[in-house]
Amino acid sequence: MKSLLFIATLLLALPLVAQAFETAACGWEGSDTILGNYSDIIATIETSAPVYNGSQSLKLVDDAASGTPQAFIGWVTNLNDDDTITASFWRYDDTPGAAPSCRIWGHWNDDPNDINEYSGSAGGLSDYGPGTGWDMVEYEWIVVDGHTGFVLEVRTYSNAGDTVWIDDLTITAPNGTTIIVPEDVVSLERQSWGGIKASF
């Protein structure tokens, strides 16, 4: 009994080791727009309203006759099963309950040399947003089935010519992964989740 008590006390006395994370952020304050796309979508930098933060945002115009255009705005590689990826961004549309709208989505990508490689849907959030201006959307994915890469999508639901805007992207993944976002990258390595939050 004393041995068990000693072990329990020793375990409680050991410092807790927080999992280290890396994060990358993009506010589209430079000239880069997206990393890739599926179907026809026109991506440009918006320098007038609507902009959520800073002086620019990402403008996405549906240029497809049908389907669901996808803008690839993040790419995470060197993943392992049970790794967690968290992503968030601000989105803008002003059409409640109608097109245009967009949601946060993703797919697996197991080729670290080709962002266009598709290894199956990773799913995402079914919420399309309120359509009343800016709102923040966030989702968490857990890596399964031996996948080693992940691509973050802005999936648009609209008619040809419809427009949505995106701003202030943040992606967090475990230390040792590689996170790529369009331009103005902020990388915080070997941070606890609390440390990452404090940096923003």
Query: What domains sit in the chain, N to C, each tagged with a CATH number?
Result: 26-198 (2.60.120.260)
Q: Could you give the CA distance from residue 38 to residue 8 in angstroms, rounded to a whole number?
A: 54
How many CB atoms sit inside 10 A of residue 105's CB? Answer: 19
Tokens linked to 62: 């549906």
Distance separating alpha carbons of residues 104 and 89, to the nearest angstrom:
8
Q: What is the pLDDT along the chain (200 residues), one digit of tens a residue?
A: 444 444 444 344 444 345 689 999 999 999 999 999 999 999 999 999 999 999 999 999 999 877 889 999 999 999 999 999 999 999 999 999 888 999 999 999 999 999 999 999 999 999 888 999 999 999 999 999 999 999 999 999 888 889 999 999 999 999 999 999 997 444 433 333 344 344 44
Among the listed residues 63, 39, 70, the one whose alpha carbon sits nearest the alpha carbon of residue 156: 70
| Nearest residue to 43 (alpha-carbon basis) of 67, 68, 74, 70 | 70
> Is the pTM for the entire model greater than 0.85?
no
